[in-house]
Amino acid sequence: MFPRDYACGFLVPSAKVNRCAGVLEAARIAARPKTLHQNRMAPFLKIGVILLLSLLAACGRTSMCDKPDVVCIGSVGPLTGPLSYLGKDQENGVQLAVDEMNARPVLTLGGRKVRFHLTSEDDQGDPKKAASAAQTLIDTRVKGVIGYTDSTTSVPASKIYSEAGVPQISPSTTATAYTSQGHKTTFRVMTNQHQQALALSDFAVNKMGAKRVAVIDDRTMSGRELADDFAKSVVMAGGEVVQRADADDKSDAIEMLAASTKNKNPDLIFYGGTEARAEILVKQLRSLGMKTLFLGGDGVQTDGFIRLAGKDAEETMAASPGLPLEGMPGGKAFKAKYTARYGAVQSHAPYAYDAAMALMTAMQKADSADPAKYLPVLARLEMNGVSGTVAFDQNGDIKTGAVTIYRVKNGKWEVVETISK
């Protein structure tokens, strides 16, 4: 293993070129034909080659970010795995913003012409990889970060960025914990769980007339937080929580839960969590003859839920933080630009675009890419974005968060109404 100080990206520019050239030569030597003894060492040589190639990648990336006329912005999300469509959607939104900013006729910071450069990391939706990606971007000397796509990765990574003084704006994290840790570097452009819970409880009690409510979650951090907030808000709105339970991942346990829920005779069933257990729960409830309204959070408002639940998904209602693309002030224009380049917008792209634009706009207003100088400007920023006005409160939450309620009709999600903060 190389000592940390010998990695290409950590050397001073004058030495970096020589060191990177040395790494390249070592990789070439490792690739030469082997003797019998060397063949026995092949597994270890493969590991060495992988390490060398990683160092080469760091060399290229760090040298780009070290250029005086380049300002690097990081983006982190799941670029591989089952959630890669969300990670790519985010990355594309950031790239679109970076390219538009670079296309401006005059782009200077501190009296010097600059250009922005996107550096992406893949966290695969894994909290450990998310933390590793954060450290990689900090070592690469990015000036700000857009990400992550969910709460389980955003929350642990936020501490690392805070300690490094690097601003982080999430386009999709909803967990209240993300911005309640006291980090001055943490922001989001998406409605948080608490805002969503207040909107949903008001809708359930005052719009749908629910008085007896069953509240269930899937034991995930975001699902449980949303369900807890919803339950408290229902009581504050004048409703009664007749059941508070969680859904085990075993089908027989969910069968027992559904039977217990039926015995409680609720007017409405609320579920906080992802589509996987929601579809099993809905099927069980319908098999017991329950036609009670099923209302879910943003983890349910997916095409996957409809596909998995089939006909039992009909009339299910669910919320999604933010506005539908068609309802965003700049949604139509953004959709045209994005689809022409990348294809259909999945979900997070407009918010990722706004987050990146907010970061770069704050740098321009501060006339500096130094996080210590532009961070106070970012905290006070107010700008018109694709999704609406981008401005943050004292915690880093978006001030004008919205929640949109959807219902499944004929196998598709249809907008019922949008509730603005």
The residue type at 167: P
Q: Does 313 score more than 60 pLDDT?
A: yes
Question: How many other CB atoms sit within 10 Å of the CB of residue 7?
Answer: 20
158 and 168 in contact (C-beta within 8 Å)?
yes
Q: Does 25 score more than 80 pLDDT?
A: no
Mean pLDDT of the chain: 86
Six token digits for residue 139 = 């070592």
Question: What confidence tens digit (pLDDT) does each residue in 88-122 have?
Answer: 999 999 999 999 999 999 999 999 999 999 999 99
Residues in contact with 81: Cβ distance below 8 Å, sequence separation at least 6, in sequence order: 124, 125
Q: What is the pLDDT of residue 32?
A: 56
Six token digits for residue 274 = 């992802």
Q: Does 337 score more than 70 pLDDT?
A: yes
Q: Does 279 score more than 50 pLDDT?
A: yes
Q: What is the pLDDT of residue 39?
A: 56
294 and 287 in contact (C-beta within 8 Å)?
no
How large is the average pLDDT for residues 84-90?
Answer: 92
Q: Does 83 score more than 90 pLDDT?
A: no
Q: Name the β-bridge partners of 120.
A: 75
Q: Does 352 score more than 80 pLDDT?
A: yes
Q: Does 249 score more than 60 pLDDT?
A: yes
**Pick from 405, 400, 369: which is nearest to 382 by CA?**
400
Q: Name the β-bridge partners of 318.
A: 296, 406
Phi, then psi, of 115 in degrees rounded to 5 = -140, 150
Question: What confidence tens digit (pLDDT) does each residue in 147-182 have?
Answer: 998 888 999 999 999 999 999 999 999 888 899 999
Six token digits for residue 193 = 């769980």
How large is the average pLDDT for residues 261-265?
Answer: 96
Q: How far is residue 340's CA from residue 191's CA, in Å, rounded to a whole number?
A: 28
Q: pTM for this one?
A: 0.78
Q: What is the pLDDT of residue 222?
A: 79
Q: How far is residue 262's CA from residue 277's CA, in Å, rounded to a whole number?
A: 17
Name the percent of the chain lying above pLDDT 90.
Answer: 68
Look at residue 122 and give its three-state secondary structure. Answer: strand
Six token digits for residue 34 = 């082997």
Residue 207 DSSP code: I
User: Where on the phi/psi map is residue 410: left (φ > 0), alpha (ψ -120 to 50), or beta?
Assistant: left
Name the percent of the chain lying above pLDDT 70.
Answer: 84
Residue 313 DSSP code: G
* CA distance between the termini of the chain: 53
Please tell me the total number of residues recorded for the chain in this structure: 421
Q: What is the pLDDT of residue 67?
A: 92
Q: Does 45 score more than 60 pLDDT?
A: no
Q: What is the pLDDT of residue 12?
A: 36
Torsion angle, alpha carbons of 175, 327, 89, 129, to 10: 0
